[in-house]
Structure 1
Amino acid sequence: MPISCLSWIPKGIARSHPTKSKYSPESLLKLAREDLNPAVKKYSGNVETLELNGSVQAEADIDKELSEYNLQDYDQDEVCDLYKLNPYEDNIIDPSISQFDTESEGSSDIIIGPHDNLAVVGVTNNNANALEIYLYNYENGDWYIHHDIPVNACPLCVESLDCSCNENDLNGNLVAVGTKASFIEIWDIDNINCLQPVATLGNASNLTDDNLRRIKSPLKSHNDSVLDLSWNRSARTILASASADQAVILWDITLAKTSNIYSHHSDKVQSIQWHPFEAQLLLTSSTDKTIQLTDCRIQESAIRWNTANEIEKVIWNPFCPAVFLVGLYDGSVYAFDVRNRDYIFRICAHNMSITDLALSYQTEGLLVTSSIDKTVKVWDITGNTPKFISSKNLNIGKVYCSCFCPDNASIMFGGEKNSVSLVDLNEEFIVYSHFRGKKSSSINLN
């Protein structure tokens, strides 16, 4: 189960006592049928032949399989029989099942304290896709899965939103999930057993048993995988999404509708990020080897840069707002200043593709690069003069993603193995020794 994406939730955002949804047997039955229908259609649809291992299986074989599992009569089955096994409407009142109680003394692992961060981890495999929500306390070292959320397609990117989908309520604790099936789901992190997202952006009707079918429709939503998301912290109702369909879409999350569409790129748009302080500026990058800075008050692209290789990641430097960094497929990192066409510096960071870049919110100039070469590296880019500090193999295979905690010196990594690697850079002697004497400050992006 590879870790496909990561995001942090700052301290003080989550509710101290999460809510718990209650579902009637009827609503659970409806959800169960919705989940089962794609699998039934896979076998009972208009299929004439199947080709397996180069040989053609006759339609009679399919009929035999349908007969064996009685799938053709699925809609007439009493699916709800399983629910009749429990005479109680809710497991909470079933004396045979132990449930947590957020008011009880034994539920301390559920309560979220004022010094706790939450981490959102996208996990994917062939059978199930989920968001695992970790609780992390930097002071006492707590780090465990608090709860998880089943998502409806392979998660490719996640973005935390401390806002609400309700235009009359400014506060919330949501996470947006970009999926391989072209739509975006928004989930309430404060609800620990939710079965449905609070909103879906895009057309979710194209979700099939393999989550790969694409629909052709007027471009009011993406029609290919959503590869990156960026929430506008100043214009808090706006979420930007990037897709393999070459488009960038701005969404109004309170209306769950498209606000604007940009088609400046000629290939997959892999990475986007709003400027940390200028709400109208959106940075986008693509496998077409270009970076574009768009002023979203107007339709035209303001500035364009070309690179020699496909672009995997682009991020702003919060300590130097005119500068952004670009990670390329060839393993190099470039820094650009929006006021110039030429790059400021170049780092030959890895021998294989860059997968992610992360800049510390706590220490100016602290850059971490990740790569499919299975290593992560720490750099000091203070004064636009990059210096290599250290390298580490985290034993998680190819490293796919990284994310700095906004409140401390910790950074988490995800890779092809099914575990998250959490590293406190203050405990890495070489890193700590180098940055200890440097001036540190904290950027509050909220």
Structure 2
Amino acid sequence: MLGYISARQAGLDDPLKLRRAEATRRVLSLELNKDKDIERIHGSGINTLDIEPVESRYMLSGGSDGVIVLYDLENWSKKPCYTCKAVCSVGRSHPDVHKFSVETVQWYPHDTGMFTSSSFDKTLKIWDTNTLQTADVFNFEETVYSHHMSPVATKHCLIAVGTKSPKVQLCDLKSGSCSHILQGHRQEILAVSWSPRHEYILATASADSRVKLWDVRRASACLISLDQHNGKKSEVFGETAKTAHNGRVNGLCFTSDGLHLLTFGTDDRIRLWNSSSGENTLELYSSGRDGNILAWVPSLRETESDDTSEKQCLNPAYEDAWSGSDDDG
């Protein structure tokens, strides 16, 4: 790591390289925090979490029981070991509580005075944080799976909503109505995410195995349908071969810089895409319930070898990218 710092100080490396190296080091060393606990409020599974981006102090959780809980992550006890307490909750006795499972909660990106939630009860609700009352409710004909507000938008207040319908719906907070729809998917929309880099770019994932990127300003809004084969099979089989996964695509998110898009599906695969070109980068990291973090890379040989040293010679992904003791000098 000292090698990265020295190169940064000397102006030899891009500052982003040091940031990524440190982020990687922290991810690889993650472990359960033994000093910090979260008060248990939900009586069943928790489907969604969101930490507000202003101070990173308050966290929302939405459960399969329809309950929404707001936590204060600050250590007010000033003790080394502490429990983060729930500030308030939308419990089962609340008049505006969701009737069924809450699938997504999200803070309003610019302040903590408002947050949103969507549920299997076919509603998207806008909440006033201070009064814990609904400021607006959007009703849909189909089950709502996901919604998202742009973290960088300054010229629109659109909320993208994915439902059991194959049409992506855009709800306008200013007018209080659904402004327009995006057509192109063939089955239900399971996940939606706005780009953190461009306020009009939206990514959607569907049960039809496809991931699409949209520019919502355009009449024909779809920019590209991501292809896991990077065009090689679609040249032969046509548009029908352009699938992102071999199964339902049930999750996606942009990297913080908006340059890449991460998707995962029921085919037990996660993929990293270049969000500008739509190219499948074919290399990524994954973590699972077994506690392992794995690096994935396509084999450069048609036949695999059990000789690890041979793999290291063949593929740079197996090389140690960290500065050794000699480099730290």
Q: Pick one of 254, 268, 288 that aligns with 1:359.
A: 254
Deviation digits for residues 198-230 of structure 1 (CA, Å, limit 9, x no counterpart): 1102x334xxxxxxxxxxx96x23111000112
Deviation digits for residues 256-286 of structure 1 (CA, Å, limit 9, x no counterpart): 22121111x2112111111223362211111
Deviation digits for residues 27-71 of structure 1 (CA, Å, limit 9, x no counterpart): xxxxxxxxxxxxxxxxxxxxxxxxxxxxxxxxxxxxxxxxxxxxx
Superposed displacement of residue 193, structure 1: 4.0
SS in 2 for 1:340: coil
Equivalence for 1:186: 70
Distance 1:336 1:294, change over 3 A: same
Greater RCO (CA < 8 Å, at least 6 residues apart)? 1
Q: Pick one of 225, 229, 246 that aligns with 1:346.
A: 225
Q: Pick one of 180, 199, 215 that aligns with 1:337.
A: 215
Superposed displacement of residue 180, structure 1: 0.3
Equivalence for 2:92: 204
Count of residue pairs brought into register by the alignment: 252
* RMSD (Å), alpha carbons: 3.2
- Report runs of 4+ in structure 1 exceeding 6 Å deviation: 422-425
Q: Pick one of 389, 396, 404 that aligns with 2:281.
A: 389
TM-score in terms of structure 1 length: 0.51
- Unaligned 5+ runs, structure 2: 1-21, 76-80, 227-242, 298-314, 320-329
Residues 12-161 of structure 1 aligned to structure 2 (within 5 Å): 142-146=29-33, 147-149=36-38, 150-152=40-42, 153-161=44-52
Letter in 2 for 1:204: R
Letter in 2 for 1:145: L
Distance in 1 of aligned mates of 2:86 and 2:292: 24
Equivalence for 2:199: 321
Distance in 1 of aligned mates of 2:292 and 2:124: 29
Distance in 2 of aligned mates of 1:320 and 1:289: 24
Equivalence for 1:274: 149
Superposed displacement of residue 151, structure 1: 3.9
Letter in 1 for 2:281: I
Distance 1:268 1:419, change over 3 A: farther
Letter in 2 for 1:224: F
Distance in 2 of aligned mates of 1:172 and 1:368: 23
SS in 1 for 2:32: strand
SS in 2 for 1:357: strand
Letter in 1 for 2:74: D
Residues 175-254 of structure 1 aligned to structure 2 (within 5 Å): 175-191=59-75, 193-194=82-83, 197-201=86-90, 203-205=91-93, 220-254=96-130
Residues 173 and 190 in structure 1, CA contact (< 8 A), matched pair in contact too: yes
Distance in 1 of aligned mates of 2:144 and 2:194: 17
Letter in 1 for 2:254: L
Superposed displacement of residue 375, structure 1: 1.4
Highest CA radius of gyration, 1 or 2? 1
- Unaligned 5+ runs, structure 1: 1-135, 164-170, 206-216, 395-412, 433-446
Superposed displacement of residue 370, structure 1: 0.9
Residues 352 and 372 in structure 1, CA contact (< 8 A), matched pair in contact too: yes
Distance in 2 of aligned mates of 1:259 and 1:315: 23
Residues 305 and 341 in structure 1, CA contact (< 8 A), matched pair in contact too: no
Distance in 1 of aligned mates of 2:71 and 2:204: 30
Deviation digits for residues 58-92 of structure 1 (CA, Å, limit 9, x no counterpart): xxxxxxxxxxxxxxxxxxxxxxxxxxxxxxxxxxx
TM-score in terms of structure 2 length: 0.67
Letter in 2 for 1:354: V
Percent identity of the aligned residues?
Answer: 18
Superposed displacement of residue 318, structure 1: 2.0
SS in 2 for 1:259: strand
Distance in 2 of aligned mates of 1:356 and 1:349: 12
Residues 72 and 84 in structure 2, CA contact (< 8 A), matched pair in contact too: no
Residues 37 and 83 in structure 2, CA contact (< 8 A), matched pair in contact too: no
